[in-house]
Amino acid sequence: MLGLLGDPTRRAIVELLARRPCSVQELADQLPISRPAVSQHLRVLRDGGLVVSRAEGTRRIHQLDPEGVTALRVWLDGVWNDALTGFQKLAESDPTDGPENP
C-alpha cells in the first residue's frame, strides 16, 4: 500500500479525501490535473484498498476506506516501533562493545 502513495498526485488526493469525501470534479478543481487523470489515480487507490466510492445521484463520491487506512497505519506503526526499538538498543548499548573496540 505504501507504494500507492509514492506518487505526489495520489498523496494529494489522499490528503484531500482525508478532509472530506469528494467527487472527481471536486478533486480536479483542487489539483493541477484533468478529471480523467484524477479518475485514473482514484482507480489505483481504489484497487489498492485505500479509497472507496458510492453513487450519489449521477456522480460518484470518493472517500478514504477506513479499513485500508487502518491496515496502512498498523503497518507503519510496526515499522516505527521496530525503528524505535533499534534506536533504544543502540542508545543503551555500551560503546566499548563495538567492533572497533574488541
Segment 39-98, tens digit of pLDDT: 999 999 999 999 999 999 999 999 999 999 999 889 889 988 888 888 888 899 877 765
Look at residue 24 in the predicted model and tell me its pLDDT. 98
Residues 6 or more apart whose CB falls under 8 angstroms from that of 90 comprise: none
Look at residue 97 in the predicted model and tell me its pLDDT. 66
As a whole number of angstroms, the distance between CA 12 and CA 5 comes to 9
Query: Is 51:64 a contact under the CB 8 Å cutoff?
Result: yes
Residue 21 lies in a domain: yes
Residue 101 lies in a domain: no
Query: Is 13:20 a contact under the CB 8 Å cutoff?
Result: no
Residue 52 lies in a domain: yes
The CATH number of residue 87's host domain is 1.10.10.10
As a whole number of angstroms, the distance between CA 47 and CA 70 comes to 16
Domain range for 22: 2-93
Residue 68 lies in a domain: yes
